[in-house]
Amino acid sequence: MNSIFSPHTYQLKTLHKTALARGILAFIVLVLALALVIETAARLFYLPALFPSLGSDSFLFDYKIYALENQFRRESQLDCLILGSSVANGNLDPDLLATVYQQETGETIRCFNLGIPALTVETAIPIAKAAIQRYSPKVLLFILIPRDLVDREYTVEHLAQNPWVTSRSPADWLIVHSYSLRYFLTWQYWQNPSNRAKMVEETNTVSSRGYSKVEGVRDPYPPDWLMDADSLQKVWQDPKTIPTLETLLALRQNGPQLIVIEAPAYSVAFPDPASPAWQLYEQDYLTKLAQYLAQKDVPFWRVTEITGQIPRPDWYDWLHLNTHGAKTFSAWVGHKLTEYQNLFK
């Protein structure tokens, strides 16, 4: 007579292995599902309050790259990229620039401000290359002050080794392309309470197009280190100046037009003609820079025609405009762009 019961029994050892395997599988599926939700949300929605990190140790840089990525996803086009140090970061508003350009030409341009305080030309070059490779901007606007060419001490040179810039390894590629991993890096930073405060401090005034708003007037003004005779003399004495400029100008080979803009400076807009430093700025630094760029067929814009019209209350300090001054300067840059036919064609 056949029994309805099987003569075989399940071994507890096998059951334990099966349950463990299923648990591991369920955990993996859950993690992947969560990662998919994070990836989708980060790509569909702009979440500036909690931005994904690139592990660059610069919350402002991480924030701006996230904003740039979102802008390009929305608009599928980048017409102009603004580069430079703090004199670019807080002086030029892409929205105001584009508004003036549209009012005068009827054409819409899409710009982004990737200026970073303490950025030098040498560090800006690999960042610009990475942006050109990804977004093919038609124009690069570089706002330049003398220290951008010679400063070796107060810099953010580590940004040149950022995964977004280099993408040298599979790990770099994964960080750049996985918002889930980048949010994990953000979470790691958040474990330190001082990092949380710094994240807010560095990014809470930055617009979705990378412009960092600066309010009020700094009181008292710090020393005017632009008008330092020793520093100004070093610009053209430094053997790296010409090679650095040549590498900057070589970015044009990848497509974009390059326009170099003199940085706004109160002591240049309202100079002391008897100052030896001002004479060095005008007769040595600026004259040689203008001659060099002219020989290379690179437009160079002096800004004194507009900065001389910006009153003292619209300056944050010697080298930085507040929101009122930036509005005037941004409108001027937007107008200047209209003087170049087919610039964004």
So where are the chain's domains? 15-45, 47-337
Residue of 44 and 58 predicted with greater confidence: 58
- Torsion sign (Cα): 311, 315, 319, 320: negative
CB 100 within 8 A of CB 335: yes
Of the given ranges (25-29, 91-95, 294-298), which has the lowest mean pLDDT? Answer: 25-29
Q: What is the pLDDT of residue 5?
A: 45
Give the neighbor-by-neighbor strand order of the sheet with 111-113.
111-113, 80-84, 139-144, 257-262, 300-301
Q: Does the pLDDT of residue 287 top 60, yes or no?
A: yes
Cβ contact 291:281 at 8 Å: no
Least Cα distance to 130 among 199, 54, 204, 240 occurs for 54
Q: What is the pLDDT of residue 342?
A: 85
Q: How does residue 51 score in pLDDT terms, banded at 50, 70 and 90?
A: confident
Burial of 187 (0-12, 13-18, 19+ CB in 10 A): exposed
pLDDT tens digits, 192-214: 989 989 999 999 999 999 999 99
* Whole-number percent of the chain with pLDDT over 90: 71
Q: Would you state the pLDDT for residue 168?
A: 80
Cα(258)–Cα(332) distance, integer angstroms = 18
Given a cut of 90, is residue 64 above it in pLDDT? Answer: yes
- pLDDT(149) > 70: yes
pLDDT at 17: 55
Answer whether residue 262 shows pLDDT above 50.
Answer: yes
SS3 of 64, please?
Answer: helix
Tell me the average pLDDT of the chain: 89
Of residues 74 and 22, more confidence is placed in 74
The CATH homologous superfamily of the domain defined by 47-337: SGNH hydrolase (3.40.50.1110)
Is pLDDT of 295 > 50? yes
* pTM to 2 decimal places: 0.87
The rounded Cα 117 to chain-centroid distance in angstroms is: 9
Determine the Cα–Cα distance for residues 13 and 21; give it in Å rounded to an integer.
Answer: 12
Q: Taking residues 176-205, what's their average pLDDT?
A: 90
How confident is the model at residue 205, as a pLDDT?
A: 95
- pLDDT at 11 (0 to 100): 47
Residue 181 · residue 289 · CB < 8 Å? no
Give me the pLDDT at residue 39, please. Answer: 60
